[in-house]
Amino acid sequence: MTAPIRLAVVGMGKIAHDQHLPAIAAGKSFELVATVSRHGEAVDGKPFFNNIDELAASDVEVDAVALCTPPQVRRTIAETAIENGWHTFLEKPPGATLAEVVALRDLADEKGVSLFASWHSRYAEAVEPARDWLANRDIRKVTIIWREDVRVWHPGQHWIWEPGGFGVFDPGINALSIATRILPDPFFVETADLDVPSNCAAPIAARIDFRGAKGTPISMDLDFRQEGPQSWDIIVETDAGTLKLAKGGSVLTIDGNEQRQPAEALHGEYPGLYRRFAAIIRAGVSDVDLSPLRLVADAFLRGKHNSVEEFIE
């Protein structure tokens, strides 16, 4: 029997507690051996360190790390992990810029460790069935609506409004990670309107028009100010009917008829991510897809920045 991979989690915020720790505990591939954070305390009596240098200097044996810090500070932490020979899981978005993620990929290749740029929404239950259904369809129009309440999903997370924090593109990149997975052809930014609160550096809402390689129009509506029901939908009109992915990729309907998916053990996005991370480690390869991050970068490059009212949490 293959021994579990000894894993440390770095950055013990909301996503680590809500998603990473339960997924690690539920699976058999990883053993949590330590946690690292500027704030917080030990988990289940495991060794706790204030920074990754303290972990590296300790006698804790580590094979891999999951980095759950904000993207702005992740590059140097990831470099330390890779230099120590630790396989590295990057929470999404994988970095604050394209250049630093490319540099991390190159460093991982040089050091012979696995680097995983994770896109958790791709592991929602209905994403692969949607991809399969669309593979041979004539796609005529795509509409992406991703509207949620930032006060509910990112309470007190001030980093998200700072340069490199992505603003509404933090959830928006989830939609793009699904779209780049399920649509058979690449697509490109044509226009973008970014609404930036006057007291923030990142947008609170955005409207982007893309064009597919074959001319397919793709529109995207992002908003962090949604109250009441939340919207995480991708609607694809084809020659064979209309496909809709709802609830962030977990519900698939075709012409209004829900398509039931077979239940799997350990189903869910983060268990799927950790199965993938274990698989690439065992195979000695990396998985670093930059296409969602490139599209966000292009939206900022081509976008018109509109100043809107202050955001007060």
Residue-wise pLDDT tens digits, 168-200 = 999 999 999 999 999 999 999 999 999 999 999
**Does the pLDDT of residue 261 top 70, yes or no?**
no
Q: Is residue 272 part of a domain?
A: no
Please tell me the pTM assigned to this model.
Answer: 0.94
CATH of the domain at 87: 3.40.50.720
Convert the pLDDT of each residue in 85-117 to its tens digit. Answer: 999 999 999 999 999 999 999 999 999 999 999
- What percent of the chain clears pLDDT 90, i.e. is strictly above it? 92
**Catalytic status, residue 92:** yes
Question: The sheet that has 241-246: what strands, in order across it?
Answer: 257-258, 251-254, 241-246, 231-238, 139-147, 217-223, 205-212, 187-197, 303-308
The pLDDT of 37-66, averaged and rounded, is 94
Domain with 250, as residue range(s), is 121-262+296-308
HSE toward the beta carbon, residue 184, CA cutoff 13 A: 13
What single-letter DSSP state applies at residue 168? T
- Confidence category of residue 260, pLDDT binned at 50, 70, 90: confident
279 Cβ neighbours under 8 A, 6+ residues apart:
none
- What percent of the chain clears pLDDT 70, i.e. is strictly above it? 97
Structural domain ending residue among the three candidates 117, 133, 155 = 117
Structural domain ending residue among the three candidates 94, 117, 140 = 117
Q: Is residue 270 part of a domain?
A: no
167 and 304 co-located in one domain? yes
Q: In the numeric block, which tokens belong to residue 46?
A: 């495991």
- Confidence category of residue 262, pLDDT binned at 50, 70, 90: low
Query: Is there a contact between 67 and 42 (Cβ–Cβ < 8 Å)?
Result: no
* Mean pLDDT, rounded, of the chain: 95
94 and 137 co-located in one domain? no
- Picking from 285, 9, 259, 40, the residue whose alpha carbon sits closest to that of residue 134 is 259
The pLDDT assigned to 167 comes to 97
Report the domain count for the chain: 2
Convert the pLDDT of each residue in 200-225 to its tens digit. Answer: 999 999 999 999 999 999 999 999 99
Looking at this protein, which amino acid is placed at residue 238? T
| 3-class SS of residue 63 | coil
Catalytic residue among 14, 46, 92, 247: 92
- Picking from 15, 108, 110, 124, the residue whose alpha carbon sits closest to that of residue 69 is 15
Structural domain ending residue among the three candidates 117, 140, 157 = 117
**Does the pLDDT of residue 74 top 70, yes or no?**
yes
The CA-atom distances, in angstroms, between 303 and each of 17, 144, 148, 194 are: 35, 17, 21, 6
222 and 189 co-located in one domain? yes
148 and 63 co-located in one domain? no
**Does the pLDDT of residue 267 top 90, yes or no?**
no
32 and 106 co-located in one domain? yes
